[in-house]
Structure 1
Amino acid sequence: MSASAEHVLDLGDLGFEQGAHLLVQRALRDLPPGAELAVAGLDPALVVHLEAWCRSQGHRTQRADENDDGVKAWVTRGRTDLDRWALAERAGGPGPDGVVARPQLNWGLAARGALVEPGGPEIAADLAERELVWAELAPSLYAHAASAQWDPAKAVRWDAEVRLAPEIEQAIVQIMTFLVENEQAALVVPARLLARIHPHFREVLQLLAVQAADEARHVEIFTRRALLTGGEMGTSSVSGRESLATLLTEPDFSLASFLLSVLGEGSFLNLLTFIDRNAPDPVTRQVARLARQDEARHVAFGVAHLQHQGKVDPSLLGRLRGAVEQRHQTLISSAGLNQDVFDALVVLAAGEWTPEGIRRGYAAVQELQVEMDEGRQHRLVRLGFPGDEAAELSALHTRNFM
């Protein structure tokens, strides 16, 4: 053997404890299996460390003779390293266009677009198909969500003067209590879905994570407004909790998104607009507006996802109808909307305790319910339901709004 061979690596005085393996690994990377690499160097422990490293990597070594012109050892390129990556595959592409239909479960937490070494443990992600979770709008919605985050401590003027008649303040406290209850359900649903989605669909994960964070902020600001004047929280009815419990038990991603975002949070957009329009103080107005801008994004994702899935799943509309009918049947004996909440909405819109005011407030709440119904019908038609069927399904939606 001669140091004048074609493949020679001179490490100088660099030792393996200083990173010499990186240069050896790089030199071997482009050689075919069976090729030889002459390794020269001045480190006294070079041969011992080189032999140990080669054994761990599947290469063979042979110590050089003293007359091999400074070469300390010959390394024969093994096949182990090559075989380890020969069957590797790209986990799609890094951008949204690189999302694959069915990512492998053993890709685990690999970054999308990474070259994934074969093998490894499978992750417990039962939502691992593109058509089950994806929406073309997800990347842009996430970008908007990330840029639209706000700080509850700074976005609301908590020191603004709030001087309301006790009955009006009590009505607002009751409404805020109702909102907290519903927003806690809206926080739990995306949080539970998050753990079930394959990380390959990262924009959906990111969007749901921000959605959960949005709801956490809503819980905070509605609670702070309820307690702003030093009182206690309002009432929580059994029927309200029964209605929300049906959202927590829906295992299907699309159906959960439909019931929560398209129907429930869609109706909440009208409710928050109602509160904004009738708010008697700046704090109540601010918290309603901040929550509404977030909820509009949640509804947009729900609609976009279902529109996407509807293109590839002809059974979708039937499944959506079944979900509405099943939930209606489950809640058919429920008392519906908490009477305290209904009355509080009337008082809020009335603004005063006079017959004329109460008549005006009651009519406003009835108009709110009409607006909610029209909004649900509009979104159902966007999903592909005929107008008469959309009206029928909207009428079956829970009387508890969410």
Structure 2
Amino acid sequence: MTEVLDLGWLSFEQGAHLLLRRALDSLRPGEHLAVTGGDPALLPHLRAWCRNQGHHARSVEDEPGIKAHVIRGTADDDRWAGAERAGRPGPGGIAASAPRHWGLAARGALVEPGGPEAPFDLTDRDLVWAEVAPALYRHAASAQWDPETAVAWDAEFTLPGEIEHAVVQVMTYLVENEQAALVIPARLLTRIHPHFREVMQLLAVQAADEARHVEVFTRRALLRGDEMGTSSAGGRHSLATLLTEPDFSLASFLLSVLGEGTFLNLLDFLETHAPDPVTRQATALARRDEARHVAFGVAHLHHLGTVDPGLRGRLRAAIERRHDALLDTAGLNSSVFDSLVVLAAGAWTPEAISRGWQAVGRLQSEMDDGRQRRLAHLGFPADEAAELSRLHTRNFM
């Protein structure tokens, strides 16, 4: 006996397809469903919906009260025939490779065939992944801070003009470098297939971190005056070599593992020698964010190194290529170096300046030690790690 579905006066524009789909779900392919209803547009809408869904509809005139019969389509008729899951079964379900035709489909969704090819070029998991990425994203999301309230902008302090000038110069330098560190993850995340969403999310927060750093360092620079410090051509040239690196892993290596890793030492130095509470708070907050950026870069490259035996050769070539490109540049802005000495000295006596000079020397040594440790973690022998660390840009980032 054929089942009958009475739609009453419900139209397809008001949800009649929901009742029809539910009734068809209880049938086997090839079985009939009689449909009746009072909507004047029932038949054309019914036929259009069935064509779209892979079913067959025919109107009837010899059965009182029945407008049409719907025959449930077979698997071959179904528009979802050939559909695939965007990922492996089970929690997480991250695939080793994400085809471009998955596009923006949620991970684990059933993907209908025939969609457009998405423009993402980083579609292999190993090219972007680190096992720690989900945990780092959760930490990053919970560790966001508000520049307006996290820093005591109204703290009372007075600095000598020369000390304030040194702070302004260092803040100007930090802003320049943080702007590069904002642009790079923002550019890279647009290339990652959304199937690897945790990496996209992490890079998005990283870009937000850097935007916040740009804000607080700019605000501190202008807190007691209306002019920023100087920007050297050599410094901008050094950062330009980061912006033009097209390879995701090499860009992460140069920026996060070497550049931001080196900046961890610099921010720690500035927090220690900050002449005022605002500078101290701003650099301490930024350092916590930067540590997370470095952690992802190191974890990603460590993961990639387990599946790509040629990675270390590529990393070495990237360092050497950048070193050669910067060979004729001046390196660190001398005004920045002198400002660091002044901040560490804390006074204008020969003895104090000597202490400040030695402190900056120790900073450079600590930067070198940190780079060597991270390079060793990535599998470089100690002598090669030392050699490559020495080739790192004199501009720190």
Q: TM-score range by the shorter chain?
A: over 0.9
Contact 2:31 2:71 in 1 (8 A): yes
CA distance in 2, matches of 1:360, 1:81: 80
Decide whether the 8 Å contact of 1:175 with 1:341 is kept in 2.
Answer: yes
1:84 partner SS: coil
Q: Which runs of 5 or more structure 2 residues have no equivalent in the other structure?
A: none
Aligned pairs for 1:101-180 within 5 A: 101-180=96-175
Give the corresponding residue for 1:27. 23
Listed one character per residue, the Cα deviations across residues 276-308 of structure 1 (whole Å, up to 9, x for unaligned) are 000111000000001000000000000000010
**Partner Cα separation in structure 1 for residue 193 and residue 78 of structure 2:** 27
Quote how far apart the aligned CAs of 1:247 are: 0.3
| TM-score, with length taken from structure 2 | 0.95
Aligned partners of 1:305, 1:53: CA distance in 2, in Å?
48
Superimposed CA distance per residue, residues 151-204 of structure 1 (whole angstroms, 9 cap, x where no aligned partner): 111111100112000000000000000000000010111111011111111000
Give the structure 2 partner of residue 39 of structure 1: 35
Matched to 1:10, the amino acid is: D
Name the amino acid aligned to 1:16: F
**In the alignment, does 2:3 pair up with 1:7?**
yes
State how 1:47-58 maps to structure 2 within 5 Å: 47-58=43-54
Could you give the per-residue CA deviations for residues 129-161 of structure 1, whole angstroms, max 9, x where no partner exists?
Answer: 111000000000000000000111111110011
Q: Which amino acid aligns with 2:390?
A: A
1:52 Cα deviation after fit? 4.3
CA distance in 1, matches of 2:392, 2:102: 40
Matched residues in 1 for 2:49 and 2:311: separation? 57
CA shift, 1:388, in A, is 1.0
Partner of 1:370: 365
Q: How does 1:2-401 map to 2 (within 5 A)?
A: 5-43=1-39, 45-65=41-61, 67-68=63-64, 70-79=65-74, 82-93=77-88, 97-401=92-396
Query: C-alpha displacement at 1:335, in angstroms?
Result: 1.0
1:199-253: CA deviation from partner (whole Å, max 9, x where unpaired):
1110000000000000000000000000000141011111101110100011111
Please tell me whether the aligned partners of residues 96 and 139 of structure 1 are also in contact (alpha carbons under 8 angstroms): no
Q: Distance in 2 between matches of 1:47 and 1:73?
A: 7
Contact 2:151 2:282 in 1 (8 A): yes
Quick one: which amino acid aligns to residue 279 of structure 1? A
Q: 1:388 to 1:34 in 2, by over 3 A?
A: same
Letter in 2 for 1:60: H
Unaligned 5+ runs, structure 1: none
The alpha carbon displacement at 1:125 in A equals: 1.2
* Cα separation, partners in 2 of 1:81 and 1:158, compared to 1, 3 Å: farther
| RMSD (Å), alpha carbons | 1.8
Kindly provide the CA deviation profile for residues 323-348 of structure 1, in whole angstroms up to 9, marking residues without a partner as x.
Answer: 11111111111111100000000000
* Partner Cα distance (1:147, 1:332) in 2: 42
In 2, Cα distance between equivalents of 1:113 and 1:323: 37
CA positional deviation for 1:61: 2.8
* Amino acid of the structure 2 residue aligned with 1:224: R
Please give the TM-score of this superposition, normalised by the length of structure 1.
0.94
Q: Distance in 2 between matches of 1:112 and 1:273?
A: 40
Aligned length: 397
Q: Deviations over 1:29-68 (max 9, x none)?
A: 4534432111133445544543443345453333344654
